[in-house]
Amino acid sequence: MKIIYSELQKLIPALTADKLRLRDDLTLIGHFVSSVEQIENETVFDLEIRQNRGDCLGYYGIARDLSVFYRIPLCLPQSSLPAISSSYRLPINVTAEKQVKRIQAIRISRLQNSASPPWLKKFLNLHQVNSINTLVDLTNYVMFIFGLPNHAFDVSLSTDNLVWELNRHFSQFTTLDGSVLPLPSGILMVNNPTTALSLSFLGGQSCAISHQTTETVIEMAVYDRTKVRQDYRLLKTTTEAAIRLDKDLDPKLIPIAFTFLINQILQYCRGEISSQLFDYYPSPSPDTQISFDPELPSLYAGIDIPVDFATQTLERLGCQLLPNGNKYSIVPPSIRKDINLEEDLIEEVVRFYGYHQIPKNSPIPIANTRDITPKILYLIEKIKDDFTDLGYDEIRSWPLVNQTENPPTAIITQNSINSDFPYLRQSIIQSLRNQHRHYLRLKLVGQKFFEVGKIFWQENSQYIEQYSLGISNPDPKQLSTDIEKVFGDDCPKDYQMSNDSGQYFAQIVLDNITPPQHYSFLTKTNSAIELTSQIITLDANVSFPEKQNPADLIKQYSQKINQNILWQLVVVDEFFDQKTKQFRYTFRASYYNCDDKLAKNTHSQIFGLKI
């Protein structure tokens, strides 16, 4: 959510922190600032609002938090409607009683709507919302200030005979931008008896406000958030209003925000109120009462947080504190729908005290606790060490595969976006085979590698998963020998083995192996390479008058080649030429993450070849 610094100062005029300080402080108290920008001579913060803080999807909620953090006063806007002379009662009907928590509405006549004043256009522009006209822009402005969506109807198009209902009659809905949405039954809407006017989270074209609008009904409402979410997801349409109505909003905030909106409209569009205030609020939510021990924030934080700090913080947040022995009975402000437990109050105290005040050098004391490690995890670590000691490389691969080995027992995902890989693997060899083929594409041949991972299947409606070891080697005899070396007397006799284009694979289900009672793994470190292109292998013959030690030659020539492109250097042949009386050595160099040209140039230069 975007926040303009100067707009925030209208609610907390004593706010003087510089923009970087404010960025860091907002982040520390839970409103992560992802960016701070200077746009149109304004400082604009982009905040990530916590999912349980619907109240902070408006300036008002953020300002409340900052006023507590900086211990500065919050200045609320004008809080009363002008005197209403009209006795007219709006003929509004609510049939969606379970879905509507509260509505306030009023009719305003003799409006003079026009283009918005520059400050309003600028405000909306900084919030990346297009300016339409003053009346519409003010409804959006107030939504950003208080986080409460609201709507204006052109009475000449909609009448004021509005009904909040679940759709039964309409098959489609035309939005303000002219898009036509197919309309399922049961969608929460505002209609008149003949026309679909508005969705709970999106206005409609049939009663759109224009410069010619002179009569309007303004409404502000809070709904059952799960219903709004269900609707906008069904219609695949998200709006600023939907984002807010999806959260737990405070019906008790409506009178403050709605009054502010009406006063803004009267100030900028003129006009006069021509109805009584309509206020539908059939079931006011009861206050939450929480027992609070002011010593607990210290115990939870592990540092001393004065009791006075705890109580003053809660008071500043708008909580009512009633002493009850050594504890307090706390009534949180209705806007804070996220405060329901004593732990929520503890978090409030600790976050305003500051996590940075907690020392960083006191980790949980070392304890001789009971070992609850499943023994198979020891087996897995031992196997990894044993196979790497034998020269095998560990791989990890996708447990989801594109084919299944035994369809009747296969487990298939229902909704994976990556629909080419719907099956959970039934054998780890499937994964090793894929890796081998990929290595071949990269021109990596003769690889020795292994993976430990899960395999899956279903049996009697039960989903089964087992740890499994897969090992691969181009030499089947060596593969068998290595398996025997690792498992010794415990070596399974009937492990699965197969081959594919010169590479051999074996699978051993580890659940069938007796695990060690304990194993201390090694904290090995080794490099790993991300190959971005095929390995390029080139040969070169080099002659010497004397016999050479091939290993010394490899060492000597390796040092001349850039290690960032040298994969491996091998001497594959040595030959004594009778005619020249020279010893000729054939080098085979493999290069990686470079193109042909670089590989050939390097090769020619190092081995003295003609290009």
Tell me which residues in 491-520 interact with other proteins (CB under 8 A). Answer: 520
For residue 598, the one-letter residue type is L
Rule CB under 8 A: say whether 347 interacts with other proteins: yes
- Which parts of 359-418 interact with other proteins (CB under 8 A)? 359-374, 376-377, 381, 384, 387-400, 411-418
Distant-in-sequence, close-in-space partners of 416: CB < 8 Å, separation ≥ 6: 400, 422
* Exposed / middle / buried, residue 370 (Cβ in 10 Å: 0-12, 13-18, 19+): exposed
C-beta closer to other proteins: residue 80 or 368: 368
For residue 224, the one-letter residue type is D
Give one word for 147, left, alpha or beta, with left for phi > 0 and alpha for psi -120 to 50. left
* 473 DSSP β-pair partners: 504
C-beta closer to other proteins: residue 230 or 276: 230
Would you say the C-alpha torsion 247, 196, 111, 86 has a positive or negative sign?
Answer: negative
| CA nearest to 385, candidates 528, 520, 527 | 520
- Which parts of 543-562 interact with other proteins (CB under 8 A)? 547, 549-552, 554-555, 558
Distant-in-sequence, close-in-space partners of 170: CB < 8 Å, separation ≥ 6: 183, 189, 191, 196
Helix axis angle, 134-146 to 254-269, nearest 10°: 150
C-beta closer to other proteins: residue 270 or 547: 547
C-beta closer to other proteins: residue 151 or 436: 436
C-beta closer to other proteins: residue 193 or 407: 407
Q: What is the SS3 assignment for 398?
A: coil
- Which parts of 241-300 interact with other proteins (CB under 8 A)? 246-247, 299-300
Cβ count near 483 (within 10 Å): 20
Which one of residues 282, 460, 526, 610 is an interface residue with other proteins (CB under 8 A)? 526
* 198 DSSP β-pair partners: 190, 203
Query: b/e per residue, 521-543, with b = 16+ CB within 10 A?
Result: eeeeeeeeeeeeeebbbbebebe
- How many residues touch other proteins under the rule CB under 8 A: the total is 120
C-beta closer to other proteins: residue 426 or 431: 431
Rule CB under 8 A: say whether 302 interacts with other proteins: yes
Would you say the C-alpha torsion 77, 137, 216, 98 has a positive or negative sign?
Answer: negative
Which one of residues 115, 267, 572, 605 is an interface residue with other proteins (CB under 8 A)? 572
Q: How far is the CB of 110 from other proteins (least distance, A)?
A: 42
CA 39, CA 337: separation in Å to the nearest integer?
A: 33
- Which parts of 436-465 interact with other proteins (CB under 8 A)? 438-439, 442, 444, 448, 454, 456, 463, 465
Rule CB under 8 A: say whether 226 interacts with other proteins: yes
Give one word for 9, left, alpha or beta, with left for phi > 0 and alpha for psi -120 to 50. alpha
Q: How far is the CB of 462 from other proteins (least distance, A)?
A: 10
Q: How far is the CB of 399 from other proteins (least distance, A)?
A: 7
Q: How far is the CB of 589 from other proteins (least distance, A)?
A: 12
Rule CB under 8 A: say whether 50 interacts with other proteins: yes
C-beta closer to other proteins: residue 371 or 494: 371
- Which parts of 577-596 interact with other proteins (CB under 8 A)? 577-578
Rule CB under 8 A: say whether 325 interacts with other proteins: no
C-beta closer to other proteins: residue 277 or 535: 535
- Which parts of 192-221 interact with other proteins (CB under 8 A)? none
C-beta closer to other proteins: residue 279 or 389: 389
